[in-house]
Amino acid sequence: QVQVVQSGAEVEKPGASVKVSCRASGYTFISYYIHWVRQAPGQGLEWMGTINPNGGSTTYAQRFQGRVTMTRDTSTTTVYMELSSLRSEDTAVYYCARVLEANSAYRGFDYWGQGTLVTVSP
Amino acid sequence: DIVMTQSPDSLAVSLGERATINCKSSQSVLYSSNNKNYLGWYQKKPGQPPKLLIYWASTRESGVPDRFSGSGSGTDFTLTISSLQAEDVAVYYCQQYYSTPITFGQGTRLEIK
């Protein structure tokens, strides 16, 4: 069965970086794009970007350009999202999610990780 | 960017009654080459990740109860819960995946009256 499991909660200081992992299993890893979405406390859902595990190409939301890096490791079927120059407004739950349809970047997201709370605090 | 606007922001419905949530996009999310609306609906409960309910505006995801249905095309969409159950209390989001950045509506909080 498909599973998407994220790394645990992180506490970081302003200006630091955080790297969240997302391990996928139960399907052909390279066939499905992975997206990252975050939710700040009391706020809605915000899309950050996507990575194609087949080759590693990425598309980022413009507001995160220059601060976010998404990578993958096919040997461990894991995707990573690193966010740098953290500020308090980056405090949020970060989710990875698999796209619904193989070999398609933009579809609904059918399997989600459990979420990783990143807290940015002095 | 495509702006997604949901209405209402919150909604209280009696058990067994119908709940209707609307979503409007700032531009059409209908892709003419395949005649599909790039629109999804999600249910979000506290402490849980979002759950996909509907994709292509009206296709129910596997395992989703048939009391959930989606309709609409172009810029105007609706999520309907035909007979509200207690477990449907949640925040509901529409999402467009027609173009990047992918964007979500602000959410509609659904409660029991």
Among all residues of chain A, which has the CA nearest to that of B61? A110
In the chain, the amino acid numbered A71 is T
Query: Coil, strand, or helix at residue B78?
Result: strand
**pLDDT tens, position by position, B67-106:** 999 999 999 999 999 999 999 999 999 999 999 999 999 9
DSSP-derived letter for residue A88 is: G
pLDDT digits (tens, 9 = 90+) for A15-58: 999 999 999 999 999 999 999 999 999 999 999 999 999 999 99
Question: What chain A residue is nearest to B37 in terms of C-alpha separation?
Answer: A107
Compute the nearest-CA separation of A122 from chain B (Å).
25
- For B43-52, write each residue's pLDDT tens digit: 999 999 999 9
Q: Is the Cβ pair B50, A35 closer than 8 Å? A: no
Q: What is the distance, to the nearest Å, from the Cα of residue B17 to the centroid of all Cα atoms in its chain?
A: 18
Q: What residue has token string 């990143």?
A: A118
Q: CA B22, CA B107: separation in Å to the nearest integer?
A: 10
- Dump pLDDT digits (tens) for B11-44: 999 999 999 999 999 999 999 999 999 999 999 9
Residue B42: what pLDDT? 98
Name the nearest CA neighbour of B98 among B74, B69, B71. B74
pLDDT per position as a tens digit, A74-114: 999 999 999 999 999 999 999 999 999 999 999 999 999 99
What's the gap in Å between the CA of A107 and the closest CA on chain B?
6
CB spacing of B102 vs A106 below 8 angstroms: yes
pLDDT computed for residue B77 by the predictor: 98
Bond preceding residue A41 cis, omega within 30 of 0: no
Nearest chain B Cα distance for residue A109, angstroms: 7
Bridge partners of residue A11, in order along the sequence: A119
What is the Cα–Cα distance from A107 to A104, expressed in whole angstroms? 7
